[in-house]
Amino acid sequence: MLRCGRFSFDLSRPRVMGIVNVTPDSFSDGGRYFNQARALDHARQMVADGADLIDLGGESTRPGAPPVPEADEIARVIPICEALAREGIAVSVDTRKPGVMRAAIAAGAAMINDVCALTAAGAVEVCAAADVGVCLMHMQGDPQTMQAAPAYVDVVADVRAFLVARAAACTAAGIPRERIVLDPGFGFGKTVAHNLALLRSLHAIVATGFPVLAGLSRKSALGQITGRPVDERMAASLSAAVIALARGASFLRVHDVRETVDAMNVWLAVERGA
């Protein structure tokens, strides 16, 4: 079981996390309310399609993306978090900032998903003071520079050691084990070879005993393998998702919820009988 605020996830079957970005984008100049209404509709559709939780992000962590001020991130994400939580939907908020974490928790977030694994000053304390789940992700470097020259002694051992150390810091601060998820952070300071090694050996992270989240959906490593642009990576994403399931992932963080649920159900039927 993973405990996340008023939600508990029985991890005897894997769970799908639908990605909803609330960043201003080039396809829409309709302003904040338009974007927020669209994000809400998108999230509700994902839940109808079988998402177990919705991951809301107000700051792009794509390689080279500029930082977003805390007040802007709060204005983007918190109204949507509040609205979805009121509808009984489990919401995860993807943020690195303790101030946004605090606002998300007050707005009913079930999980804090942090690509910095709660390393910002005060982040662990904010999460320890609430009953939210936490997703601790590994990243080498920071989003501005992480893809410049990623290097590891042994990528699987290095990532695993980092995640175990962050989980220990969290439990020492009072976050129970039952609230912690680990994530190797595909694409965050990793070459294609690093990403492949991590996916191939995902069971080594699963062997820590913590539930593992895999986020491979539409990522650039899949683009490099297939030669496809970002909007043509669904097949590659589904393939990566099933590989992650076969290696023990408990959560899949994806854009294409309906298709991922189908792929997962085929895998589950084969593994466990329909």
Q: How far is the CB of 187 from ligand 7PJ (least distance, A)?
A: 6
Q: Pick one of 52, 59, 94, 256: the residue that binds ligand 7PJ (CB under 6 A).
A: 94
47 binds ligand 7PJ (CB under 6 A): no
| Catalytic residue list contains 253 | yes
113 binds ligand 7PJ (CB under 6 A): yes
Q: Which of 230, 150, 233, 226 is nearest to 193 (CA)?
A: 150
From residue 94, give the alpha-carbon distance in Å to each of 10, 55, 150, 243: 22, 6, 23, 24
Q: How far is the CB of 87 from ligand 7PJ (least distance, A)?
A: 23
Q: How far is the CB of 202 from ligand 7PJ (least distance, A)?
A: 13
Q: Total binding residues for ligand 7PJ by CB under 6 A?
A: 14
175: its two tokens = 């976050």
Per-residue x/- mask for ligand 7PJ, residues 126 to 145, rule CB under 6 A?
A: ---------x-x--------
Q: How far is the CB of 92 from ligand 7PJ (least distance, A)?
A: 8
115 binds ligand 7PJ (CB under 6 A): yes
Q: How many CB atoms lie within 10 A of CB 24?
A: 17
Could you tell me where the DSSP H helices lie in 189-251? 192-200, 202-206, 220-226, 234-246
Report the Cα 218 to chain-centroid distance in Å.
13
Is 45:253 a contact under the CB 8 Å cutoff? no
**Sequence-distant (≥ 6) Cβ neighbours of residue 168 within 8 angstroms:** none
- Angular region, 200: left φ>0, alpha ψ -120 to 50, beta rest: alpha
> How far is Cα 115 from Cα 190, in angstroms, rounded to an integer?
14
| Catalytic residue list contains 219 | yes
The secondary structure of the chain in percent helix, strand, coil, rounded to multiples of 5, reads: 45, 15, 40
Q: Which of 160, 179, 247, 253 is catalytic?
A: 253
Q: Pick one of 139, 186, 190, 260: the residue that binds ligand 7PJ (CB under 6 A).
A: 186
Q: How far is the CB of 100 from ligand 7PJ (least distance, A)?
A: 14
Q: In the range 201-220, which residues lie near ligand 7PJ by CB under 6 A?
A: 213, 215, 219
Q: In the range 217-256, which residues lie near ligand 7PJ by CB under 6 A?
A: 219, 253
* Contact residues: ligand 7PJ, CB under 6 A: 19, 61, 94, 113, 115, 135, 137, 183, 185-186, 213, 215, 219, 253
